[in-house]
């Protein structure tokens, strides 16, 4: 009896063949093979495959073009990874750089809005922003090739459903796969009557750090008005996901969607899409619904909690 050689299709989600990376010594590489495959070989080293068929590993790269070979059964796949050779950056004036990063949203007023604690939910407007969108801005990519922009939209819809059920007015910055300019996302919140702005994302590790080593939730805020909102959202998420993934609490980040001086804003990073475990968890719709409800409960708690006396936030 002759046994047919085992042929296994292997896909690579990151980096894409020919993808240009910044100057790094190593990068993570991820992809998928048929379920049931135990191991594959990448750069001659054995790599274990998760039960979903997803795989991820770290590979060594040098400046210039790298041919990285992936072997699964009898199938060999080569991916070209170009690593950019950039001249060493000149020393920067840190103060000037920081000031530049402070760029104000030109349409936002400096004065924060009055906290909505005195209002009924039906008089409170929350803007939910599913991060990324459109063909060019996919966000991060999972080992099976799913895009963060889609995961963000699905979770954002759960947040909207939960808030609507609580009686809030809700608007989304996008409800389909369309591109949006980052600095334009908070515009409708400022020009309308929004009481809060929440951007929904899924996290990814930097190309030269190992995605297998990090998974956590985090809520980013920049100013005190956003921080109070972020704290409430982070607390509810951490409670809901206790024993599942750890919480990093509230982190500070000067993002276009967090530095709004007028409308309290925060950015939620729900999980890491770059690992096979994170990917599997993100596509669990029951878990997604629970996370969406937890984010909505955090927003609700913030709306109902009056700020300390004398403070607008």
For Zn ion, give the closer residue by CB, 252 or 312. Answer: 252
DSSP class of residue 123 equals G
Closest contact distance (angstroms) between CB of 284 and Zn ion is 19
Q: How far is the CB of 167 from Zn ion (least distance, A)?
A: 29
Least distance to Zn ion, CB of residue 199, Å:
9
Q: Nearer Cβ to Zn ion, position 49 or 200?
A: 200
Q: Is 278 in the site for Zn ion (CB under 5 A)?
A: no
Rounded CA separation 95/312 (Å): 30
Nearest to 60 by CA among 18, 85, 28: 28
Span of 101-109, 111-119, 177-185, 201-209 interacting with Zn ion by CB under 5 A:
201-209
Write down the least CB distance from residue 275 to Zn ion, Å.
15
Q: Which two tokens stand for residue 200?
A: 């929904």
Shortest Å distance, C-beta 203 to Zn ion: 7
Residue (139 or 298) nearer to Zn ion, CB: 139
* Token digits of residue 257: 């969607």
Residue nearest to Zn ion (CB): 201
Kind and range of the H or E element at 82?
Answer: strand 75-83
- Nearest approach, Cβ of residue 264 and Zn ion (Å): 20
The Cα–Cα gap between 118 and 192 comes to 19
Give the length of the chain.
313
Q: Is 185 in the site for Zn ion (CB under 5 A)?
A: no
Residue closer to Zn ion, measured from CB, 148 or 293: 148
Beta bridge partner(s), residue 127:
171, 197
Q: What number of other Cβ atoms are within 10 A of residue 250's Cβ?
A: 20
Beta strands 75-83 and 54-60 are unpaired
Tell which positions 112-151 bind Zn ion, by CB under 5 A.
131, 139
201 binds Zn ion (CB under 5 A): yes
Rounded to whole angstroms, the Cα distance separating 197 from 232 reads 14
| Contact positions with Zn ion (CB under 5 A) in 1-60 | none
Q: Which residues bind Zn ion (CB under 5 A)?
A: 131, 139, 201
């Amino acid at each position: 009896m002759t046994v047919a050689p085992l042929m296994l299709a292997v896909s690579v989600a990151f980096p894409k063949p020919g993808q240009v990376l910044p100057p790094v010594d190593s990068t993570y590489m991820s992809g998928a093979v048929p379920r049931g495959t135990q191991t594959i070989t990448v750069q001659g080293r054995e790599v274990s495959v998760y039960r979903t068929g997803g795989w991820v590993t770290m590979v060594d790269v040098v400046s210039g073009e790298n041919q990285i070979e992936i072997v699964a059964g009898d199938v060999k796949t080569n991916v070209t990874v170009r690593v950019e050779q950039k001249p060493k950056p000149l020393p920067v004036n840190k103060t000037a750089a920081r000031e530049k990063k402070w760029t104000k949203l030109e349409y936002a007023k400096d004065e924060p809005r009055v906290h909505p604690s005195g209002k009924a939910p039906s008089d409170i407007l929350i803007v939910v922003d599913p991060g990324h969108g459109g063909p060019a801005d996919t966000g991060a990519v999972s080992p099976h090739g799913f895009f963060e922009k889609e995961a963000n939209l699905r979770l954002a819809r759960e947040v909207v459903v939960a808030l609507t059920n609580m009686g809030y007015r809700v608007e989304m910055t996008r409800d389909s796969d369309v591109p949006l300019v980052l600095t334009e996302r908070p515009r409708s919140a400022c020009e309308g009557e929004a009481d809060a702005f929440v951007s929904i994302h899924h996290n990814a590790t930097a190309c030269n750090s190992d995605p297998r080593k990090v998974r956590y939730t985090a809520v980013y805020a920049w100013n005190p008005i956003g921080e109070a909102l972020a704290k409430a959202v982070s607390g509810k998420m951490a409670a809901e996901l206790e024993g599942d993934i750890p919480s990093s609490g509230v982190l500070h980040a000067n993002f276009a969607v967090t530095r709004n001086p007028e409308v309290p804003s925060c950015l939620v990073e729900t999980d890491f899409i770059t690992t096979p475990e994170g990917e599997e968890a993100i596509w669990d719709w029951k878990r997604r619904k629970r996370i969406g409800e937890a984010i909505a409960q955090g927003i609700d708690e913030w709306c109902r909690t009056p700020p300390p006396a004398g403070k607008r936030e």
